[in-house]
Amino acid sequence: MSSDTLGSLPTPVPAPHETVDLVVDGMTCASCVARVERVLKKIPGVSAASVNLATERARVEARAGLPVETLLAAISRAGYGARVDTPAQAASNADEAADGDRREGINLLLAAILSIPLAMPMLGALFGVHAMWPAWLQWLLATPVQFWCGARFYRAGWGALRAGAGNMDLLVALGTSAAYGLSLFQWWHASGGAMPELYFEASAIVITLVLFGKWLERRAKRQTASAIRALQQLRPSQAKLVRGGETVDVPLAEVRVGDLAIVLPGQRVPVDGVVEVGAGQVDESMLTGESMPVDKGVGSRVTGGSINGDGLLRVRVEAIGAQTALERIIRLVEDAQTAKAPIQRLVDRVAAVFVPVVIVIALLTLGGWVLAGAGWPVAIIRAVSVLVIACPCALGLATPVAIMAGTGVAARFGILIKDAEALELAHRVNWVGFDKTGTLTLGRPRVVELAALGDISRTTLLDLAVSVQRGSSHPLARAILDAAEEMAEAGVPVEYVATQVRTLPGRGVAAIVDGRSLVFGNRQALQEARIPVDGAALEAARLHQEEGQTVSWLGETGATPRVLGWFAFADTIRPSAPGTIARLHRLSVRCAMLTGDNAAAAARIADALGIDHVEAELLPGHKAARVVEARSGGAVTAMVGDGINDAPALAAADVGIALASGTDVAMHAASITLMRGDLSRVADAFDISRRTYRKIQQNLFWAFVYNIVGIPLAMSGLLTPVLAGAAMAASSVCVVANALWLRRWRPADERG
């Protein structure tokens, strides 16, 4: 795909409300997500808020002028930290994230060092060795773990209590504090120097296991965000500019539209612009998924982030900052990863009541065992097990990590998915409408037939036509030149030079070639030049016209006006179209063509591709109406198009898919943009949707079953707090690891 395509990415459209992106620190489970969303939505002027646990981001739609400090203060009152997420602060945020990783690692290491000795008697018991550390030593080892390494659980749990809600941290804090407090109580009331039954090891090991699980989870979440980081790393930090006749290196932030940039071989192109001097090959694979380098020359568009291959380029800057193609791609991927899939909204509603219900179950467990005569120590420990096993971490991560992984790997191969809802819906699509021109076809006519009449040869006919058309920008002229280039490769020269070339608006071109006065154009041009056409030629041309092809004539005026020959032109079917339609049929997807072109041309393309249903000569509103009719009939619809006239239908479909080679309007209306001019990516988009949705289902199944099975086991006393903590940590890691399998996905044409 060329960077002309990249340059036509949609530019942001001003919204009636401002969108504010925030980084939220301290969220640990789905209950946290629900609480942050709730406090944000209560703020006057906030119309919508979406919080993503996996990305630790909040996107807020608010009226213009609402102070950001109001949003930050509300999140702070809920017990979480927050800061504005802007490109300018990306480096600072990355540094803070790195510092957070180091602190977590140190906490985990300290907790492990102190907890391992506490776990040794438990391990010894498995081999018949029964020995216990003195109570004072257990207390000495467990206390720093409880109140230093585990301080984060107290801080976040207290924040949740102040906000009148609960979260995972509250459950961990309550459970481990109960075990630690019970140990102190037992130690205090021990009589005669007897060794009391202590649970210091349970509280310390649970905290260590939870910290270990969160550390693994954080590392795994960073892998799901690798697509964003890979795109961000494409941003060069500096550009080499020509200023005042000298070459200077300047920070990218100081580059201005109109500057002249120099790109050396092997360097990343720093800006979006047009090549003014030079030629070479540019690698755009990270932006488009196109593996082959693209030839660039004077007048070609290049995109910031791509890699210049073997030539020195001088590029005139046309876009900077947020208007560059790379920044818009990053924004689209971030939007998709921040958005909330419909199924996640149900999970969030469940999570909002989950923690209070778990606390009630723990209290019932406590009371039940006391009434059963087991005694307070046993009852407390079993209630602790319930609190620990029920932490809803996996529930909150199940959907967003899969969405992040799916949209990230899709972006790597040139499929930009704007929102999570489109990713969730695409796997159910069973009806696809295609525009014809520019979508199923290349939108570029080619010569499919030429006929020389009288004593003129086909070679001479083509040479004369090329001479007349050389220098014209008309699509049919381009087709004539392409045909000549194909013949030239076979050794056919083009020898003539045209003079006195003049355009006949709406009809054709006239010129003098090799002393002959020629007219190239439609029938009207011939009639005006009084050039007769015999019936046999008219009949042959009519047959092509009935197939939806365009016929142009080459005639000679002078003493004896005559037709030298005719050319039939047809649009070229996109090379990837036949395989795409066949693949969709194998997926039981019905394919329709909705086009404004004439019926004959539409029928020819549809027959060649095996399209199920064709409707031609449609206005834009009619296309949208056909999509609505299909939806009303129970179909889950997708529309694929590239033009302004496709925008209503793209918006009307359940999933709108635009080709990036098309117009900005089409891409604004679509929910998926294909960065390469390759229709096979339509079926690939459905495939990655199906795989992502399957991962979401698997993750939610695991998260719910884990709690459904684990809570009764803990209530019955079959799970100790230590085992419950290990299971809880493992559940989160398993959910994230399962989603990470999506990163192995490849499009059908790249699988081994």
Starting at the edge strand found earlier in the chain, the sheet holding 272-277 runs 246-251, 238-243, 260-263, 313-319, 272-277, 301-302
Q: Are 655 and 429 in contact (CB under 8 A)?
A: yes
Burial of 456 (0-12, 13-18, 19+ CB in 10 A): middle
**Angle of CA points 76, 71, 79, to nearest 5°:** 15
Bin 385: left if φ > 0, else alpha if -120 < ψ < 50, else beta.
alpha
Side-chain-side CA neighbours of residue 250 (13 Å): 16
What residues contact residue 7 under an 8 Å CB cut-off, 6+ apart? 272, 301, 303, 318, 319, 325
- Cα separation, 597 vs 581, in Å, equals 20
- CA dist 686 → 62, 283, 431 (Å): 33, 27, 12
Give the number of other CB atoms < 10 A from CB of residue 65: 7
- 675 SS3 class: coil
Q: Catalytic: which of 272, 419, 435, 646?
A: 435
Q: Where are the beta strands (DSSP E) in 435-549?
A: 441-452, 498-504, 508-513, 516-521
Is 435 a catalytic site residue?
yes
- CA dist 439 → 5, 363, 544, 575 (Å): 14, 63, 22, 11
- State the amino acid at position 644 in one-letter form: I
Number of residues written out for the chain? 752
- Cα separation, 358 vs 364, in Å, equals 10
For tokens 């007048």, the residue is 299
- Cα separation, 719 vs 710, in Å, equals 8
The pair of structure tokens assigned to 339 is 């958005």
What residues contact residue 740 under an 8 Å CB cut-off, 6+ apart? 220, 223, 224, 401, 405
- Cα separation, 303 vs 8, in Å, equals 11
Task: State which H helix or E strand residue 153 sits in.
Answer: helix 151-162
Q: Are 581 and 560 in contact (CB under 8 A)?
A: no
- 25 SS3 class: strand
- Cα separation, 377 vs 302, in Å, equals 71
- State the amino acid at position 484 in one-letter form: A
Task: State which H helix or E strand residue 674 sits in.
Answer: strand 672-674
Q: Are 203 and 184 in contact (CB under 8 A)?
A: no
- CA dist 278 → 195, 241, 275, 348 (Å): 85, 15, 7, 55
For tokens 């949609």, the residue is 10
- Cα separation, 659 vs 670, in Å, equals 9
Give the number of other CB atoms < 10 A from CB of residue 155: 14
The pair of structure tokens assigned to 645 is 């006239």
**Angle of CA points 316, 317, 323, to nearest 5°:** 155
**Residue 251 forms beta bridges with which residues?**
238
For tokens 């005694």, the residue is 375
- 567 SS3 class: strand
The pair of structure tokens assigned to 462 is 């083509």
- Cα separation, 156 vs 78, in Å, equals 9
Residues labelled as active-site residues: 435
